Amino acid sequence: MAAKNDENSQPEAQEIVEQETNPDISTTTVEISDMEVRVQSQFAVSKEIVAEKSGEEQHLVNEQSKADVELVDIEVWLSSYLSSNATYYNPLTNATIMGEPVDEECQSFFDTLRALLLAGKIQNLVTNNFRSYTEVLGGKKAYNETLVYEIEKTSPDNSETIQRTFIPNLEKLTLLRYIDTQVKYNKEYTYEIFAHQFIVGTEYTYGDMSGFGNYAATFGVTYKPSLKIVRIPIFKQNARLLDAAPLPPNVELVPYKGIFNEFLINLSGNSGDIEEMPVIITDADADFYKKYREARGLDEDAPIRFANDDASGRFEIYRTDVAPKSYEDFRTNLYAIVGAVDVASASMKSKVQTNKKYYYTFRALDQHDNRSNPSPVYQVEIVENNGMMFFLSSVYQFPTIEDKTTHARTFQRFLKINPNMIQSLFNKAMTFDLESNPYPVASDADIVHLGKAEEGVWGKNFKLRVTSKHTGRKFDINLTCKTQYNKQDE
């Protein structure tokens, strides 16, 4: 980002006489006010944006606009440092300057010493980078460099500055990471970053005009260094500190032996990190997801990250005795809230009527009251028949609209279970007694043995767990490897 300010326009002249004044900067003690040090002026501001089209290389887009920016006159500012009589109001409130000395007793000495050192460094910059008037006409850009980065924090609710942080642009600074620890949870802040740009400009005036005639004139030009610090905005963004919502809880429904009117609900926190579309049940859910997407710059219909980044030992239990058509039907059917922040699981007895269906769904809450997506809906019924009790529990599926197009996938194309080739080879040594019958035939075998590996799989039990990438839900497949064969008579 660059800024420029042309103070005077070029005259229509054929002959120009340049007269350079002393390029040394002045440090004379003067009476000074804040208005002389810090002023505002309109600049032409250009901004380069890195753009990338799909399948194409990156390119730069240059945007130019006009803006009022703050300027600090270096010479007047240095004079104020070296003047014992100069005082002016400093408007930078709530400011933190990185690397500022702590010893207040020596502050005056340090200010004077640093001002003298700065004056010497600026003098070298002016000597090496000062443009003549002819170079200005030739289009040579003024020398500039970034001295300090400023981070200004405000709140959309209050226009007053909450905090200013100044970070010097050091030679070894390649990547700057600033972590703001003075923030409140779920409070929106506005961060704006400014670059304080030091510019070695050229101030010039015209004089000694003569020779007007035949459309020609001679001008005398006097020019000298114009040293300014320009406060240029380079970045602005709103931010809000929000953590991810938790995952749905693990659910276990346990009946009591011989008790017909209640059962036990066991809930525990889940683990994992997934992204999926949120399910909105209450207005608080919609408000949280809106703020979450805005804080992370997501689209309105983008999926949300769910992760157990903090404790989630509280749980919401929703219940209805009417078959729901969607999660919306649970909006006004909050049954109970169980658990505590400092625990990992919770239990509750739920009283029911026999031979009546109930529908439950569960959500986890973290310490900031962020709610998970609801668990699957469980249909529960305790059936009583002639003194006998049956506890029926199953995952309930919402009814589908008949005229709504549905898409289904067979699981066969995603999962295939079969033994390794070495486990399927015919094992002749184990099938036949080769010592007594060295040349056996197929009809001699009572049982056919397969597999030539050191450890076989046949007749053993295995458990296969399948986990959904989108919902994190799991189910187990218990399987046993068996052989099937037909023994035919000769």
* pLDDT, tens only, 229-285: 888 888 888 888 888 888 899 999 999 988 889 999 999 988 888 889 999 998 888
Q: What are the angstrom distances between the C-alpha of 216 and each of 133, 311, 459?
A: 19, 84, 110
- Tell which residue, 200, 211, 201, has the closest CA to residue 11: 211
Q: Which residue has the tokens 């999660």?
A: 327
Query: CB-based contacts of 346: which residues, under 8 Å, 6+ apart?
Result: 267, 268, 313, 314, 315, 338, 339, 340
Q: Which of 375-379, 397-401, 472-476 has the highest mean predicted lDDT (pLDDT)?
A: 375-379
Residue 473 has a CB neighbour count (10 Å cut-off) of 13
Is the model's pLDDT at 89 over the cut of 50? no
Is the model's pLDDT at 33 over the cut of 50? no
The lowest-confidence range among 64-68, 233-237, 441-445 is 441-445
What is the mean predicted confidence (pLDDT) over 429-435? 75
* pLDDT, tens only, 190-234: 899 998 888 888 888 888 777 666 677 777 888 888 888 888 888
Half-sphere exposure of 218 (CA within 13 A, CB side): 5
Confidence of residue 315 (pLDDT cuts 50, 70, 90): very high
- Tell which residue, 82, 137, 70, has the closest CA to residue 113: 82
Q: Give the model's pLDDT for residue 309.
A: 73
Tell me the pLDDT of the chain averaged across its residues.
77
Residue 414 near residue 466 (C-beta atoms within 8 A): no
Is the model's pLDDT at 31 over the cut of 50? no
Is the model's pLDDT at 2 over the cut of 50? no
Query: CB-based contacts of 248: which residues, under 8 Å, 6+ apart?
Result: 270, 362, 363, 364, 372, 373, 374, 375, 471, 472
The β-bridge relationship of strands 250-255 and 188-213 is unpaired
* pLDDT, tens only, 401-417: 654 555 566 666 677 77
Burial class of residue 148, CB neighbours in 10 A (0-12, 13-18, 19+): middle
Confidence of residue 32 (pLDDT cuts 50, 70, 90): very low
The C-alpha atoms of residue 289 and residue 302 are separated, in whole angstroms, by 10
Residue 482 near residue 462 (C-beta atoms within 8 A): no
Q: Which of 5-14, 55-64, 210-219, 316-325 has the highest mean predicted lDDT (pLDDT)?
A: 316-325
Q: Which residue has the tokens 């019958």?
A: 437
Is the model's pLDDT at 325 over the cut of 50? yes
Residue 227 phi, psi (nearest 5)? -100, 120
Confidence of residue 28 (pLDDT cuts 50, 70, 90): very low
Q: Which residue has the tokens 């009251």?
A: 369
Is the model's pLDDT at 60 over the cut of 80? no
C-alpha Rg value of the chain to the nearest Å: 40
The β-bridge relationship of strands 58-73 and 304-307 is unpaired
Residue 112 near residue 135 (C-beta atoms within 8 A): no
DSSP annotation of 14 reads: S
Higher pLDDT, 64 or 153: 153
Is this structure's pTM higher than 0.75?
A: no
